[in-house]
């Protein structure tokens, strides 16, 4: 039964927070008109949280909700967890419609694995009146679970109208909001809700639903971190949430890996059991929701294990958001609102599952109280309307004859208004056409400076006066071409990076785009590439994926990240070893020591570097597919990047402070400004002696473009 007022509040009390969603259908569509995601003071299932403290934390969250909103006259739908619940669909023998309730009660006693007096149960006819078979759904949950869910609300004077099991709410949400996924009776979609203590696995088809509660959740990941790093639960939880930004991210994810494996194995085993019982059913997709679904790497690992596409929704497709609601804040909570969305749909009469597990004595008292109130209101309204109707009839008859001239005047005004309105819209249409033409003319200039911003970002992160003030005089001397000023600094003490080449390529699929393999050697200055040769390759690859997916009748994820692939070559005089040069580019374990930051550390903190919100972000430097750094000594016997010094035949009576070899004459590379050798020097008197000077490097990385424009739509028809 739908809410009488056309508005309903759905409440889901989880271990981490209280989720509440207010929905309405007054404008003809399901619309959010209010929501809250109130974090508890502590995680209810955390260590050292007593039952009394748990009740108090829930009460505080509910009190905050009722302080903001008046729920006294609203329809309330409440969820209960799936533990100790029962859902089954059974076929009844052909009987008359009036005998169905009797047959259902008999089946309930036989099927429900608890005493019939120990549970709240309900049933629902799942087939239409013209169907040859009679299929009913049985829904039951133990009394103590329902009472535990309703008691905190009763203490805050919140009267629930509906009680539903969380997996059934998820089924209602998926069947309504993602109806496009259910194209066949033999295809199923799985929704996984990863909570703090448990994970609900719900297999959904057009007409049936199958559920299982997996006793693994976010707390298991937290406990794994706590055990590995010897932390208390709260600190481990904080580390889990900040793991992607932590320098210990790899160790944290390694600690959680056994839980990843256990959860994926349980999901795979559950789906195997379902497939064995339903051999003709094919699972086509997994939808992941709940706070635990945000855990980085979980969905990818799950997809690799079960070999089924896994998707985490970032929006509700059929749910409108009213103007008074913050859309940005609402979309931040999409993963947590699957249950309350499904609850609200049921309250509005738009859900597939309509069973109500509210205790019968409460339901009957609410129903009669509602009916009695409306009987009185209806009688009063009927009396008032009757009296007003008779009075209004006589009054209108008298007034109509007195105002004939006023009616003529009003008609003339209305006619003039219509003419002016038509003129107005004609002029407005012309103005709109001119604006559109103007926008099209200037569209070609959009984003023309973005590549320069990439170059500016890289240049700002190089060693300079701001980043290394101790050698400010060196950078000023180099800038003005002061050879003596540069030579005043020992060459291997100069913290300088000379860029000889920079290749920047834009892509709309940053995750899958491959770096060009380019030979920048002095031996062969032509660029040889393997893999993709231009940004057009990415578009062609995506087009082929679309064509393949369309041919197979599958869907493909169109959400990709846009950004830039950057390949930089150069050399540095700093230090004497590869490790020294690496300290200028990508030193390790210097996160909190800004003076020791290298090029990559500064790029990781772009917003701090520019003191503004930089449009770029360094993309996943942990994965070698997205970040490569090679450093070698400058040696003319091997290939070095084009532009590394100047090649000259010269005799050096005293080469530099790095060596005191006399009378060395060979083809070498020298510093264009100071004339110092930068390549490996071979002792003419002892060919086995080599002296390393500068080092060259090749750095490959990716920049995520935060606010990149949407790529053009893929048209494969």
Structural tokens at position 546: 């679309």
How high is the pLDDT of residue 454?
Answer: 92
What are the DSSP calls for 472-533, one per residue? Answer: HHHHHHHHTT-HHHHHTS-GGG----EEEEEEEEEES-TTT--------BSS--S----S--
Confidence of residue 557 (pLDDT cuts 50, 70, 90): low
CATH (one of 3.40.50.720, 3.40.50.11900, 3.30.70.3340, 3.30.420.40) for 179-316: 3.30.420.40
Confidence of residue 650 (pLDDT cuts 50, 70, 90): very low
Q: pLDDT at residue 226 above 50?
A: yes
Read off the pLDDT of residues 349-400 as tens digits, 9 standing for 90 and up. 898 888 888 887 776 666 655 666 667 788 888 888 878 887 787 777 777 7
Is the Cα torsion angle 648, 654, 657, 659 positive or negative in sign?
A: positive
C-alpha 682/C-alpha 225 separation (Å) is: 54
Read off the pLDDT of residues 448-507 as tens digits, 9 standing for 90 and up. 888 999 999 999 999 999 999 999 999 999 999 999 999 999 999 999 999 999 999 999
How high is the pLDDT of residue 660?
Answer: 33
Read off the pLDDT of residues 684-694 as tens digits, 9 standing for 90 and up. 777 778 889 99
How high is the pLDDT of residue 48?
Answer: 78
Contact 657, 491 (CB under 8 A): yes
Backbone dihedral angles phi then psi of residue 401, each to the nearest 5 degrees: -70, -25
CATH 3.30.420.380 applies to domain 1-176+319-358: yes
- The structural domains of the chain, with segments of one domain joined by +, span 1-176+319-358, 179-316, 372-442, 450-462+497-644+694-705, 648-690
What are the DSSP calls for 133-166, one per residue? Answer: SEEEEEEEEEHHHHHHHHHHHHHTT---SEEEEH
How high is the pLDDT of residue 678?
Answer: 93
Q: What is the mean pLDDT of residues 692-702?
A: 94
Q: What is the mean pLDDT of residues 124-138?
A: 82
3-state secondary structure string across 206-237: CCCEEEEEECCCHHHHHHHHHHHHCCCHHHHH
Backbone dihedral angles phi then psi of residue 699, each to the nearest 5 degrees: -120, 125
How high is the pLDDT of residue 471?
Answer: 93
Contact 161, 358 (CB under 8 A): yes
Q: pLDDT at residue 117 above 80?
A: yes
Lowest mean pLDDT among 249-258, 343-352, 652-661, 674-683: 652-661
Confidence of residue 553 (pLDDT cuts 50, 70, 90): low
C-alpha 149/C-alpha 151 separation (Å) is: 6
């Amino acid at each position: 039964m739908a809410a009488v007022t056309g508005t309903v509040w759905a409440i889901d009390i989880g271990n981490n927070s209280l989720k509440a969603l207010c929905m309405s259908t007054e404008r003809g569509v399901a619309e959010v008109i209010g929501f809250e995601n109130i974090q508890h003071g502590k995680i209810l299932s955390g260590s050292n949280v007593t039952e009394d403290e748990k009740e108090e934390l829930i009460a505080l969250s509910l009190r905050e909700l009722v302080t903001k909103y008046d729920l006294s006259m609203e329809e309330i739908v409440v969820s209960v967890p799936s533990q100790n619940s029962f859902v089954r669909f059974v076929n009844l023998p052909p009987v008359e419609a009036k005998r169905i309730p009797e047959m259902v009660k008999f089946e309930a006693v036989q099927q429900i694995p608890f005493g019939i007096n120990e549970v709240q149960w309900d049933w629902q006819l799942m087939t239409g009146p013209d169907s040859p078979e009679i299929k009913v759904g049985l829904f039951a949950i133990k009394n103590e679970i329902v009472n535990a869910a309703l008691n905190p609300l009763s203490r805050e004077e919140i009267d629930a109208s509906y009680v539903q099991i969380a997996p059934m709410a998820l089924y209602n949400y998926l069947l309504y909001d993602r109806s496009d996924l259910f194209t066949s009776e033999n295809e199923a979609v799985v929704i996984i809700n990863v909570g703090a203590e448990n994970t609900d696995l719900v297999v959904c088809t057009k007409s049936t639903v199958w559920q299982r509660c997996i006793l693994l959740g976010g707390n298991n990941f937290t406990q794994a971190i706590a055990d590995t790093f010897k932390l208390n639960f709260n600190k481990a939880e904080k580390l889990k949430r900040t793991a992607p930004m932590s320098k210990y991210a790899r160790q944290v994810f390694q600690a959680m890996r056994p839980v990843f494996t256990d959860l994926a194995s349980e999901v795979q085993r559950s789906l195997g059991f379902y497939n064995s019982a339903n051999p003709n059913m094919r699972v086509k997709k997994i939808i992941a929701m709940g706070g635990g679904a945000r855990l980085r790497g979980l969905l990818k690992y799950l997809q690799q294990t079960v070999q089924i596409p896994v998707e985490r929704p970032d929006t509700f497709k059929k749910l409108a958001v009213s103007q008074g609601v913050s859309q940005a804040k609402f979309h931040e909570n999409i993963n947590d609102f699957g249950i309350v969305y499904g609850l609200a749909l049921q309250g509005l009469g738009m859900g597939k599952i309509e069973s109500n597990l509210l205790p019968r004595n409460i339901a009957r008292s609410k129903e009669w109280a509602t009916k009695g109130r409306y009987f009185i209101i209806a009688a009063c309204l009927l009396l008032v309307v009757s009296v007003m109707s008779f009075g209004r009839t006589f009054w209108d008859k008298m007034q109509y004859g007195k105002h004939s001239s006023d009616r003529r005047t009003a008609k003339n005004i209305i006619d003039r208004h219509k003419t002016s309105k038509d003129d107005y819209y004609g002029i407005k249409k012309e103005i709109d056409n001119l604006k559109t033409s103007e926008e099209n003319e200037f569209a070609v200039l959009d984003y023309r400076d973005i590549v320069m911003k990439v170059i500016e970002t890289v240049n700002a992160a190089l060693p300079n006066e701001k980043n290394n003030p101790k050698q400010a005089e060196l950078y000023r001397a180099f800038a003005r071409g002061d050879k003596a000023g540069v030579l005043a600094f020992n060459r291997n003490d100069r913290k300088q990076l000379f860029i000889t080449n920079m290749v920047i390529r834009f892509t709309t699929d940053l995750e899958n785009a491959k770096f060009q393999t380019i030979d920048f050697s002095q031996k062969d200055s032509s660029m040889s590439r393997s893999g993709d040769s231009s940004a057009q390759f990415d578009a062609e690859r995506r087009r082929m994926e679309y064509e393949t997916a369309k041919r197979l009748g599958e869907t493909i994820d169109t959400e990709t990240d846009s950004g830039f692939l950057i390949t930089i070559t150069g050399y540095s005089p700093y230090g004497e070893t590869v490790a020294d040069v690496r300290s200028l580019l990508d030193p390790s374990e210097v996160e909190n020591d800004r003076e020791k930051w290298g090029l990559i550390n500064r790029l990781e903190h772009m917003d701090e570097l520019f003191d503004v919100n930089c449009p770029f972000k360094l993309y996943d430097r942990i994965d070698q597919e997205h970040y490569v750094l090679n450093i070698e000594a400058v040696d003319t016997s091997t290939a070095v990047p084009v532009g590394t010094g100047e090649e000259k035949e010269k005799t050096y009576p005293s080469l530099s402070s790095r060596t005191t070899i006399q009378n060395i004459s060979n083809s070498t590379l020298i510093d264009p400004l100071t004339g110092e050798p930068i390549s490996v020097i071979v002792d003419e008197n002892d060919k086995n002696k080599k002296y390393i000077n500068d080092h060259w490097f090749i750095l490959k990385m990716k920049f995520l473009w935060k606010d990149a424009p949407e790529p053009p739509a893929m048209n494969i028809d």
